[in-house]
Structure 1
Amino acid sequence: MQVAYPDKFVDSNADNYIKLSDRIWGYAELGFSEFDSSAAHVEYLEKAGFEIKRGIAGMPTAFVAEAGSGGPVVGILGEFDALSGLSQESGALVCRTSTEIANGNGHGCGHHLLGTSAHLAAVAVKSFLETSGMPGRVRFYGCPAEEGGYGKTFMVRDGLFNDVDAALTWHPGIANQVINLNLLAVKQVYFRFKGVAAHAGVSPHLGRSALDALELMNVGVNFLREHIVPEARLHYAIINAGGTAPNVVQANTEVLYTIRAPRNRVVDEIYERVEAIAKGAAMMTGCTVDTRFDSACSNILLNTPLNELMYKHLQRLGAPDYELSEHSFADAIHQTTHREERELAGRMLTAAWRDPKPLFDAVDRYDPASAITMHGSTDVGDVSWVTPTAQCATACFAFGSSPHSWQWVSQGKSSIAHKGMLLAAKTIAATAIDLFRDPSHIEAARAELVARRDGDEYSSPVPDGVQPVRR
């Protein structure tokens, strides 16, 4: 029995899931602390008839929800964490702290939409499987802490994707497109220097400055930048500069480093050089240095067969219809953005859409040969190494407005955001249903994954024994 596209399954549940996205938006919780948001997802999924496994891979807010039996397994990835320091009044055209969110956090990357849309897609696919009688299982992954904690990396390390035939997800964005970006692998490590305190005026010769060591390390790493692959990125934040008293030789300092590169093995090579610089800085100052692993994720492996399938459905569905008021709101937000932001956004589109309107009302063309490198990272990368993975983006925000900004938080509850969320749900659900209808798509996607690995087998960038750290 063949059943039509799942649009009706999505539309019939739309109002409930708009409420869910707004509910999660209000929680605005950070990585590994998304207890209310996780519970809200579980509540809705249980009502929809999914079997739930909670607290997976050592993360109390992570869960897996499954429906169906036999057949292929299609995973749908959802996120729901927020960002610190991005409290913002919803719908405002200026940067203004929200009176709704007391903890100072905000959904500046749209993960309240991301998880809810993926959730709705999973419910729609479940309805299809029940109606059609086809064998197959749909599995929704409740993924915490994408922002820096990389929850999916822990899930992959625990083997939770080993039996998945394909994985689908999306990200709220400023355009409707299949995501065709090469994203980088990343490792985050703390370096802690320990010296000897002394009176800086009376007996500085008796001190051993941990601050000197930290500064020498940073200088050494800055010289290293010229001698690593151009796609790599090195960032650092001084966590502890040794105190606020300049007349004390600082005895304890700490810096957090983020190392990005095209593949995990390149990250590891650069890390070894950064670690050697840290040890050298400690030797130069008579200090010691300890390292503590924080988090990591792998680079993305794009998958052309899955991307082409997803693009077919996104193109068929097309952009939503927008009201005049929505165009006006997007234009007003657009006016608050910088020219450089709009130009950067344009470089991520194909040539036909380099200068779009403030509200992107079309579907960008998918060209496998046009993939570009964006120097960010996501834990979707680890999933893409063990099972074929595809992502789309839909226009939930005004073109040219940037992730991790007050503008994205301001737009996060708008009707534009909700329409983008529903378009993503339909696209993911339709793509998943095609995978059940025609398993040859899975075979082609698996062959592509093997080719993209280029002889490298997946190895978790998170060492054994390292557990998630609550943010």
Structure 2
Amino acid sequence: MMDDSFENIFETSRRSLLVGSLASTVAWMLASSPASAESKAAPGSAQAAREAVEAVRDAILRISHEVWNNPELSLHEEISSEIHLRELREAGFTIVSTGTSGIPTAFIAEWTQGEGGPKIGFLPEYDALPGLGNAAEPRQTPGPGGVEVGHGCGHNMLGAGCTGAAFALKKMMIDGGHPGTIRVYGCAAEETEGAKVYMARDGLFNDLDACLAWHPGPMNATGLLRTAAADMLRVRYKGRTAHAGVDPWEGRSALKGAELFGTGVQFMREHLKPTTRLHYVYTDGGGAPNVIPDTAEIFIMIRDQDRDEVNTVTEWVKDVARGSATSTQTEVAIDHFFGLHDLLPNETLVNQIHAHMSALPLEWTEEEQGFAKACQREMGLAEAGLMPNIMPILPEITTGGGTDVGDVSYNTPTALFALATMPIGVGLHTWPVTACGGMTIGDKGSIYSAIVMAGVGYDLMTDPDLRKAARADFERRKAGRPYVSPLAESRLRPDGIPPHLLLRDGSDELGVEFVKADEILKARP
């Protein structure tokens, strides 16, 4: 049980998470709270998980280092996905599919022992971000590939930990002689149009007993965190060009349609719930002021606490777009190109993850703490270093951010956790994340996360009561709501896939369809 001081801390943190940054909230909680929650007995599988991860340590770090040294943007992860596939093949996993769900850099691999048995999934990611290339140094300086691309969200570590956990769990199952299936989903393009949403639409998580993942962060924590559902729209206006000085009456400004749409969105805000987020940018607004623009475009994101709320606001936004076109005598095309679900937490899995996290040998060397403090000094932050303890389980909190893990969580019991791979107060998508991910701080994130997931995965494989409880919590929270993909039926794959990858894997343009991974999985005994 939490004492009164923790109840006050978490109530304050709930408000802070709703209106402020997670990183600053975590820093405040660390400074204000006792060193740790009440101690728990380590799960029986914790030591075995540590030993199993140690046996595959080289493969885990090889994945993390090679992906860090070859950062690739979403949908371009040709080298990064192959690094994972190479290690999976060498570890004895069968490659079920590549080009999964129409995305060339996505894949599914699995390993099975015995007849029947549970099925546990892992969700490695491996895409990087623009402008965040950095050396493994506590200052802004170009990395192996310059500054153009870097792992500022730590996906080199995330992917290594998830795939490494699958390797370790395989060893534990062989040692114990337990039947079951381990499935690894190569989750391309998490930063843009995540492959998990396309995989969920294809039903590729439906037969799992549970799915596990983690994410780098400034803290060591898990809890009943709920992330937001979201929709992404491109609103394109088409007008008629004319000379803006000589005969503007002959034109119809697409830009005016887009501007009126933006104004309409602002007039919505008074009537939206506090959980709603609307944010947009103009991606096309014309090229010269003396030419009436005949094209204009806005990219808008709509977020809310669940899919029903997002769907309601999205329809209102579409009405505003159409009304703006009528008012300006322009035409509008609305491309609802992506969406995702809110994250459905699972208390059973969260408790099990926290027990394994609490058993970690969480240690930072003096050099690692010095590196973290140097990063904080460069960013003008308090030099608090790296979080040294495991936080108590976080209560149910809804944040404004989103993740494509949400779509997985509506198809199978799913749980997430965070481990410190960046200094306290440092947010994701910044250069220190890249820097820390390329040295021993990042190595520990990959190893520690694999230990947690391998241990929890083994517990799920061997304890039917744990699986039953996780499923019961899943069904209770889902409350009979069917999973409905936020993707339009006409949306076959994300935009922006490099042409050479489509040619390599086959596309509609070549008259060749991707092999459906769900058909392969369903054909298996």
- Structure 1 length normalisation: TM-score? 0.92
- Does structure 2 conserve the Cα–Cα contact (< 8 Å) formed by 1:394 and 1:421? no
1:103 Cα deviation from its structure 2 partner: 7.6
2:367 to 325, 337, 347: 325
1:68 Cα deviation from its structure 2 partner: 1.8
Of 48-57 and 83-92, more deviation after overlay is shown by: 83-92
Q: 1:67: which partner in 2?
A: 111
C-alpha separation in 2, matches of 1:165 and 1:336 = 45
* Corresponding residue SS for 2:192: coil
1:453 to 458, 478, 485: 478
C-alpha separation in 1, matches of 2:161 and 2:149 = 21
- Does structure 2 conserve the Cα–Cα contact (< 8 Å) formed by 1:179 and 1:393? no
1:391 Cα deviation from its structure 2 partner: 1.0
Matched AA of 1:112: N
1:434 to 459, 463, 485: 459
Q: 2:420: which partner in 1?
A: 395
Matched AA of 2:366: L
Going from structure 1 to structure 2, the CA distance change for 1:228 and 1:235 (only over 3 Å counts) comes to: same
The ranges of structure 1 where at least 4 consecutive aligned residues each deviate by more than 6 angstroms after the TM superposition are none
* 1:120 to 2:147 alignment: no
Aligned residues: 449
1:318 Cα deviation from its structure 2 partner: 4.2
1:19 Cα deviation from its structure 2 partner: 2.3
Matched AA of 1:56: T
1:96 to 110, 133, 141: 141
* 1:254 to 2:277 alignment: no
C-alpha separation in 2, matches of 1:87 and 1:103 = 4
* Corresponding residue SS for 1:5: helix
- Does structure 2 conserve the Cα–Cα contact (< 8 Å) formed by 1:68 and 1:129? no
* 1:380 to 2:402 alignment: no
C-alpha separation in 1, matches of 2:269 and 2:132 = 31
* Corresponding residue SS for 1:335: helix
Q: 2:174: which partner in 1?
A: 130
C-alpha separation in 2, matches of 1:338 and 1:213 = 43
Identity across matched positions, percent:
37
**What are the Cα deviations for residues 402-427 of structure 1, in whole angstroms up to 9, with x where unaligned?**
10112211222121111122111000
Q: 2:393: which partner in 1?
A: 366
**What are the Cα deviations for residues 100-154 of structure 1, in whole angstroms up to 9, with x where unaligned?**
2158111110011101110100000111111111111111111001112121010
Q: 2:319: which partner in 1?
A: 276
Of 149-158 and 326-335, more deviation after overlay is shown by: 326-335
C-alpha separation in 1, matches of 2:494 and 2:337 = 8
* 1:215 to 2:259 alignment: yes
- Does structure 1 conserve the Cα–Cα contact (< 8 Å) formed by 2:112 and 2:182? yes
1:308 to 328, 339, 351: 351
Of 382-391 and 458-467, more deviation after overlay is shown by: 458-467
Q: 2:523: which partner in 1?
A: none
- Does structure 1 conserve the Cα–Cα contact (< 8 Å) formed by 2:134 and 2:147? no
Q: 1:347: which partner in 2?
A: none
C-alpha separation in 1, matches of 2:283 and 2:239 = 16
* 1:54-203 matched pairs, under 5 angstroms: 54-69=98-113, 70-93=116-139, 95-98=140-143, 100-102=144-146, 104-203=148-247
Q: 2:378: which partner in 1?
A: 336
C-alpha separation in 2, matches of 1:470 and 1:269 = 25
* Corresponding residue SS for 1:167: strand
**What are the Cα deviations for residues 227-267 of structure 1, in whole angstroms up to 9, with x where unaligned?**
11211111111111122x11001110111111111111211
C-alpha separation in 1, matches of 2:373 and 2:228 = 32
C-alpha separation in 1, matches of 2:60 and 2:348 = 30
Q: 2:432: which partner in 1?
A: 407
**What are the Cα deviations for residues 66-109 of structure 1, in whole angstroms up to 9, with x where unaligned?**
1123200000111001112222233142x3333x2158111110
* 1:227 to 2:254 alignment: no
Matched AA of 2:88: L
Matched AA of 2:265: V
Matched AA of 2:154: G
Going from structure 1 to structure 2, the CA distance change for 1:458 and 1:140 (only over 3 Å counts) comes to: same
